[in-house]
Structure 1
């Protein structure tokens, strides 16, 4: 059952059915786990055709797998894309997507408000591949445009910056990128396609760390790349998409895959050569996650709003950064892009700075001190000493991280229990402030 049969399917129906054709032999209602490395060819001719990308079929699970294929089609359907490629982690998804677009000597323009691991990947690792990343303030659209030059191959941002909570003006960024004939690549991990579909606002490529909300239970590491299928790879800036390739029977990726040229290229070149494969079992778990995604995210958002409102009036808290709080400067842009809610992750500052923030983290009992987000359980962390610790103090400030900042990923526990635990931890943190005084 696929959405091609009925374009009127809604989100929850797509999440349950997209991409699956029921096995004609077993008639299994659930998607089977195809825990296999390789697949039989009908003949030497059949094998040769598959290796030339002529027709559909499976060769080796490093490239494609029937279980993961269902997950990819389902996620692409939810995001409004033409195809997806699931990989071993969110970091792998970012690296493979951008290195498919940019090669040595090329540049990428990225907004500052990024997850620490992504910032480090761009600032420290990409230059080793000869790819330079120019960081700019995502709120300063003139700075974004000024950073683009003849070497630029993509503009990159996060739907909501981690942990600064800066909401990307996707339409404006896509217009700037497209004026310069480069794609807009956006990480949609924080919000998932339930809260926003960046492709609807002009994004060309969407990235996910499926480890987070899509998995939803902290059990599996994975990532995914979704292709909108709308970018013009034949504009002259990306000859590797249009040049004849001997491995494709002397055709180009655009000629072979047409609107799916990007996702085909990332799968059969870097995906194949670097081998960042997603296991079939993890793919199966992510399918389970998609089936309940909207229901979980609704409750995540409801709980997060209540926790943010509680903290905004707490005497031990100096500030709360959650876009839908009354008076937050991002209220208007949140209403435009996130009418269903701004997700379950936000940050707040504890009075007294670093030591009280650390005391709070060490004092939680129900909440979990974990380097993750999007779990069904409520998670807290101190980014300055963990996820963003590889960055210099100046780089931390550029990404929105300060010593007193605590990031919280609000889970699905009873809201009263979450608040009681936060309150007792804040009271213990206040003792640190009193001791310092």
Structure 2
């Protein structure tokens, strides 16, 4: 599989490409004309799994099947060649993609993009930390002038695993500087950390466990003014409560392990990105569809993919996401109000 996709297209390959282009056109029209008009809960329940999918492809199964197969068979060598060149949207090999993860990814892409005018896409990962690692790596590549110290700017209030990744794996082991923002509500502090070698801005909100928050639009505008992307971790909120892309963020990372599924049945993650994101990295494929880029190259080469069974289990948990988050929020508010009035409690930190 060549990143440049500079393969000679045979007549047989072109027939498959034309056929799949029609499929993509029909799918995009269905998303635009039908799915984008649904309410949040309807998307959570159905995602992109249609009655046609069920009847024509999956013997009428009313929910998405679990595809345990490691790889995909093809009709002939032309179809395989087109697939391996990434000219047609087949799944090929489960380290890259899989029909089960396909439905999980589309559900999340649509939920994170709910209310957003543009297009979003998603790449599933084996965990939330895999999502963060996979999301930041493409922006930290060494440029032609390797003498310049790469850096990025991130909120100091963040998940412990994220702090370990940024501090030890990146700063100590790879000499990539993380510039911490102590007061994330101060846009001027963000701005003071940016220079010509900054690759991206990263923020977690609400942060785990301190409940830190910041103005997404203001920070996104700042990032874009420097031709940088803003990456947000909104694991705690989920798209039921917060959709950073709608406020200007370029990429969202999610740990499906926590609020998104909340059942305790496994580890998972996801990267959701808007199309045509802002970055100073000179790579058209990365800019055009970041989630597809990391799926085709990062996931393929590093292997942080989600298991098909986990994809369907997580997808099933997501069907009642909004009602679960509503109940969780109301119960948390009751606990916070109780603690606030308690004589032994000095202060309560709760964004609700």
Normalised by the shorter chain, which TM-score bucket? 0.7 to 0.9
Aligned 1:108-257 pairs, distance under 5 A:
108-127=152-171, 128-137=173-182, 138-233=184-279, 237-239=280-282, 241-242=283-284, 253=285
Dislocated runs of 4+, deviation >4 Å: none
| Residue in structure 2 matched with residue 390 of structure 1 by the alignment | none
Once the two structures are TM-superposed, the CA of residue 215 in structure 1 deviates from its matched residue by 1.6
* 1:199 and 1:205 in contact (8 A); partners too: yes
Cα deviations by residue, 1:336-384 (Å, 9 ceiling, x for unpaired): xxxxxxxxxxxxxxxxxxxxxxxxxxxxxxxxxxxxxxxxxxxxxxxxx
| Residue in structure 1 matched with residue 110 of structure 2 by the alignment | 77
* 2:130 and 2:304 in contact (8 A); partners too: yes
In structure 1, the gaps of 5 or more residues are: 243-252, 325-437
| Residue in structure 2 matched with residue 274 of structure 1 by the alignment | 302
Q: Which has the higher helix share?
A: 2
Once the two structures are TM-superposed, the CA of residue 131 in structure 1 deviates from its matched residue by 2.4
Work out the CA distance in 2 between the residues paired with 1:12 and 1:131. 41
| Residue in structure 2 matched with residue 365 of structure 1 by the alignment | none
Once the two structures are TM-superposed, the CA of residue 130 in structure 1 deviates from its matched residue by 3.9
Once the two structures are TM-superposed, the CA of residue 129 in structure 1 deviates from its matched residue by 3.2
Aligned 1:3-402 pairs, distance under 5 A:
3-6=31-34, 7-21=36-50, 22-23=53-54, 24-25=56-57, 26-80=59-113, 82-104=120-142, 105-127=149-171, 128-137=173-182, 138-233=184-279, 237-239=280-282, 241-242=283-284, 253=285, 259-260=288-289, 262-324=290-352
Cα deviations by residue, 1:162-208 (Å, 9 ceiling, x for unpaired): 11111121011101101101000000101010111111100000000
The farther-off stretch of 73-82 and 102-111 is 102-111
Work out the CA distance in 2 between the residues paired with 1:129 and 1:41. 41
Cα deviations by residue, 1:284-314 (Å, 9 ceiling, x for unpaired): 0111111010110110001000000001111
Match of 1:278, SS state, is coil
Distance 1:232 1:155, change over 3 A: closer
The structure number with the bigger radius of gyration is 1
Match of 2:67, SS state, is coil
Work out the CA distance in 1 between the residues paired with 2:292 and 2:138. 10
Once the two structures are TM-superposed, the CA of residue 230 in structure 1 deviates from its matched residue by 3.9
Work out the CA distance in 1 between the residues paired with 2:165 and 2:41. 35
Once the two structures are TM-superposed, the CA of residue 315 in structure 1 deviates from its matched residue by 1.8
* 2:224 and 2:278 in contact (8 A); partners too: no
Cα deviations by residue, 1:61-93 (Å, 9 ceiling, x for unpaired): 010010110010010000115210000000000
- Report the TM-score when normalising by structure 2: 0.84
Once the two structures are TM-superposed, the CA of residue 323 in structure 1 deviates from its matched residue by 2.0
Once the two structures are TM-superposed, the CA of residue 139 in structure 1 deviates from its matched residue by 2.0
* 1:3 and 1:14 in contact (8 A); partners too: no
* 1:207 and 1:224 in contact (8 A); partners too: yes
In structure 2, the gaps of 5 or more residues are: 1-26, 114-118, 143-148
- Report the TM-score when normalising by structure 1: 0.68
Cα deviations by residue, 1:121-176 (Å, 9 ceiling, x for unpaired): 10110132342211112122111111011111110001211111111210111011
* 1:170 and 1:198 in contact (8 A); partners too: yes
* 1:19 and 1:69 in contact (8 A); partners too: no
Higher relative contact order (CA closer than 8 Å, sequence separation 6+): 2
